[in-house]
Amino acid sequence: MNPINPRYGAVPGAQTLFDEGLRQHMLRVYNYMGLGLVITGIVAFIVGSTPALYVPIFGSPLKWVVMLAPLAFVFFFSFRIQTMSASTAQITFWAFCAVMGLSLASVFLVFTKTSIAQTFFITAAMFGTTSLYGYTTKRDLSRMGSFLMMGLFGIIIAGIVNIFLGSSALQFAISVIGIVVFVGLTAYDTQNIKEQYSENYDQESNQKLAVFGALSLYLNFVNIFQLLLNFTGERE
């Protein structure tokens, strides 16, 4: 991809202008993602620490609604992002992060707070390293992306099957393969977000791209975190 915006052609400083715009775009993506994780963490902690909130949710069939709601949000986001305004996309993303917080509140009922914190920092280190690689590498990761998506579908199918089998060995395999897949997707998605940026897009379009990019990276982070908890988490 030619990084020089055709608006500027080969005029002096064109590369600098593009690089600065790209830097601001990536910062916006990471800021959205970071704030989304904060919202999720706060909601999860409050609900998971308040019996008056988690008992009605996880002690009834309502838990299935809470667990499946984030998936519904992702599908809605994916199909409607093109027709949404940038402000609506942001509001939808924040709502999704809050609903994900409800779903993740269960980890505070199962694992110790210390192990949750430790796993979070391990996840942050893995995510940051891999995302930096995706941003800086000159290697085309598109082929790897196709392979990883196949792996993702395989994990989803295996996870559904294991709901009925309840196999600890299969769950272990899903966790190991899942971590590899989502770490790889972090690098792939970061490169993809970088390549999608263009100064030719108006501010509205680039803002929606930033929100959708933040959603992709957020999902990778949360999935790595959940899978790692199976290895590093100490149960209450």
Identify the pLDDT of residue 11.
Answer: 53
Q: Name the residue ranges covered by the structural domains of the chain.
A: 14-232
Residue 201 DSSP code = S
**Degrees to nearest 5, angle at CA 224 with 218 and 230:** 140
Determine the pLDDT at residue 100: 93
pLDDT at 94: 93
How is residue 234 annotated by DSSP? P
What global pTM score does this model have? 0.86
- % of the chain exceeding 90 in pLDDT: 33
Q: What is the mean pLDDT of residues 134-144?
A: 87
8 pLDDT exceeds 60?
A: no
Which range among 6-15, 170-179, 203-212, 225-234 shows the weakest confidence by mean pLDDT? 6-15
198, amino acid identity: S
Buried b (16+ CB within 10 A) or exposed e, 34-47: ebbbebbbebbbeb
Mean pLDDT, residues 20-26: 87
How far apart are the C-alpha atoms of 47 and 98, rounded to whole Å?
11
Q: Which residue has the tokens 């390549």?
A: 195
- Least confident window among 11-15, 68-72, 173-177, 178-182: 11-15
- 127 and 186 in contact (C-beta within 8 Å)? yes
User: If you average pLDDT over each of 43-57, 154-168, 200-214, which comes out highest?
Assistant: 43-57
Question: 93 near 77, Cβ under 8 Å?
Answer: yes
User: What proportion of the chain, given as a percentage, has pLDDT over 70?
Assistant: 91
Residue 10 has pLDDT above 60, yes or no: no
| Tens digits of residue pLDDT in 72-88 | 888 888 788 788 888 88
- The total number of residues written for the chain in this structure: 236
SS3 content of the chain, % helix, strand, coil (to 5): 80, 0, 20
Is the Cα dihedral 171, 146, 185, 72 positive or negative?
Answer: negative
Average pLDDT over residues 122-138: 93
Q: What mean pLDDT comes out for the span 34-48?
A: 93
Report d(CA 102, CA 96) in Å as an integer.
10
